[in-house]
């Protein structure tokens, strides 16, 4: 399963990419606006730090197909490397995806709430669809089940589109979508840390260290 950082914070992107096998970065207008920096220089900076091989998913803002297409082409002109243009699955967004698919632009359908939206986006040419797990769960519908249904639909119809689970508020949601076959997830820096950190693991490591020091008086076995 691919793991992406859902953030535009350069420090966090550098820190997490140094620690973990990260496959890329996703942003959206809300995430970008939190950084209070000019949009294009910021995404170009993110790309410089992650390199041209890792994925960078950047979202459009317009709500009509022609404007979305113009924004998408502007983005792909300004950014090199492995760029995916994120487009919300509104009807005009689906139309824009169909147009951009003809231009061979790599696409991520975002703000996916239902399996049928995902199916439509896949048919329109999306390479990834991003179901919003926690936002769905806030509607008292299990967001992880929506991910499972999309995975099943793509398998049934032999669609190569990948599921990029998004919008997580706890690690159990991430575990559930991983078990249900999500091809990728994107999560905030604190969620990515929470995937790995565990008090009992920290406690065990402290125990190893203190046992060793008691026996040998050293913190390492390299002299
Ligand atoms: C990613 O593609 C989405 O924009 C993001 O995960 C939304 O998450 P939120 O519901 O926490 O804002």
- Per-residue pLDDT tens for 103-154? 999 999 999 999 999 999 999 999 999 999 999 999 999 999 999 999 999 9
Tell me the CA distances in angstroms from 77 to 40, 71, 190, one per residue in order. Answer: 11, 10, 32
Q: Which residues contact 21 (CB under 8 A, 6 or more apart)?
A: 3
Identify the CATH homologous superfamily for domain 2-198.
Aldolase class I (3.20.20.70)
Average pLDDT over residues 17-34: 98
- Angle of helix 39-50 relative to helix 65-78, nearest 10 degrees? 50
- Per-residue pLDDT tens for 170-180? 999 999 999 99
- Angle of helix 143-156 relative to helix 171-179, nearest 10 degrees? 20
Q: Which letter does DSSP use for residue 219 in this model? A: S
pLDDT over threshold 90, residue 197 = yes
Q: Does the beta carbon of 134 sit less than 6 angstroms from any atom of ligand 1?
A: yes
223 is catalytic: no
CA-nearest residue for atom 6, ligand 1, is 167
pTM, 2 dp: 0.96
Domain ranges of the chain: 2-198
221 C-alpha to ligand 1 centroid (Å): 45
- Per-residue pLDDT tens for 200-223? 999 999 999 999 999 999 888 887
Q: Does the beta carbon of 186 sit less than 6 angstroms from any atom of ligand 1?
A: yes
- Per-residue pLDDT tens for 51-100? 999 999 999 999 999 999 999 999 999 999 999 999 999 999 999 999 99
Alpha-carbon gap, residue 96 to 222, rounded angstroms: 59
């Amino acid at each position: 399963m691919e793991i992406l950082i859902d953030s535009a914070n350069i420090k966090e992107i550098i820190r997490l990419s140094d620690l973990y096998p990260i496959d890329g970065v996703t942003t959206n207008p809300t995430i970008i606006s939190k950084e209070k920096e000019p949009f294009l220089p910021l995404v170009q900076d993110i790309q410089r730090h992650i390199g041209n091989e890792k994925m960078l998913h950047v979202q459009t803002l317009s709500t009509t197909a022609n404007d979305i297409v113009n924004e998408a082409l502007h983005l792909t002109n300004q950014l090199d490397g492995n760029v995916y243009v994120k487009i919300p699955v509104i009807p005009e967004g689906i139309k824009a995806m169909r147009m951009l698919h003809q231009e061979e632009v790599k696409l991520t359908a975002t703000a996916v709430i239902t399996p049928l939206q995902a199916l439509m986006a896949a048919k329109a040419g999306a390479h990834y669809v991003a179901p919003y797990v926690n936002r769905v769960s806030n509607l008292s519908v299990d967001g992880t089940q929506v991910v499972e249904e999309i995975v099943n639909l793509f398998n049934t119809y032999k669609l190569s589109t990948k599921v990029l689970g998004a919008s997580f508020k706890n690690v159990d949601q991430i575990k559930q979508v991983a078990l249900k076959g999500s091809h990728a997830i994107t999560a905030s820096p604190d969620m990515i840390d929470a995937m790995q950190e565990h008090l009992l693991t920290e406690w065990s490591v402290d125990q190893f260290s203190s046992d060793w020091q008691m026996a040998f008086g050293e913190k390492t076995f390299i002299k």
